[in-house]
Structure 1
Amino acid sequence: MANTKKAAEKKAAVEKKAADVAADVKEVAAEVKEAAAKTKTAAKKTAAKAAAKTKAVVEKAAEKDVIYLEFADKQIDVAALVEAAKEDYKAKGHRAPKSVKLYIKPEEGVAYYTVNDKGDGDQKIDL
């Protein structure tokens, strides 16, 4: 009987220890969950700040000098012509150009361009 009583006491002690460990695990799990929530909130704030900075940089980059060519009651945005020349060049089956030089001839109503310092009479854009 003494052995049965000791076994019952050991069993009770083990069950109490298991209950204590389970309580500790729950407590740690709650702490981890709380820390994860704080980290998620901090990450959202950091992402929002990064997005705001990126937007500011993009807006500042967009603030370029603009050149307009005006003639015969027309107004031409030179930067738009450069972009059009690049698109025209790519549309003809070439890769994106590294550099573009633009030669605007308002009396002819056309802008000729060279790409990487090479060009021909076919490289032109109507104004």
Structure 2
Amino acid sequence: MKSTLNVQFGGNTVESKEIIAAAKKVWVDEGNQNRKVKDLLKLDLYVKPEENAVYYVFNDDESGSFPLYAE
């Protein structure tokens, strides 16, 4: 089965794969120089379009947020 999930709010649309890719980029960019995507074992995302935010929890112990839509 092929599926897609899109988040729409305020005239903006973002596909789930874009949100996941952005989270993986945050994981790599904000970590130490040796951190790789393969080191990300668990990814929990909470999308709040009304706040233009995606809240994340990496591997049950690192959390933060990034913008859902580019401004």
Q: Same fold per TM (> 0.5)?
A: yes
Report the counterpart of residue 66 of structure 2 in structure 1.
125
Measured in 1, the distance between the counterparts of 2:8 and 2:21 equals: 18
CA contact under 8 A between 2:7 and 2:15: conserved in structure 1?
yes
Report the counterpart of residue 81 of structure 1 in structure 2.
19
Q: Deviations over 1:7-40 (max 9, x none)?
A: xxxxxxxxxxxxxxxxxxxxxxxxxxxxxxxxxx
What stretches of structure 1 of length at least 5 have no aligned partner?
Answer: 1-62
Measured in 2, the distance between the counterparts of 1:88 and 1:64 equals: 26
Higher fraction of helix? 1
* TM-score, scaled relative to structure 1: 0.45
Deviation of 1:116 (Å):
1.4
Q: Which has the higher contact order (CA 8 A, sep 6+)?
A: 2
The Cα RMSD (Å) is 1.7
* TM-score, scaled relative to structure 2: 0.74
Greater C-alpha radius of gyration:
1
Match 1:105 to one of 48, 52, 68: 48
Measured in 1, the distance between the counterparts of 2:50 and 2:17 equals: 20
Report the counterpart of residue 95 of structure 1 in structure 2.
36
| Residues matched between the structures, number | 63
Higher fraction of strand? 2
Secondary structure at the aligned position of 2:51 is classed as coil
Measured in 2, the distance between the counterparts of 1:92 and 1:81 equals: 16
Identity of aligned residues (%): 27
Q: Does 1:70 align with 2:8?
A: yes
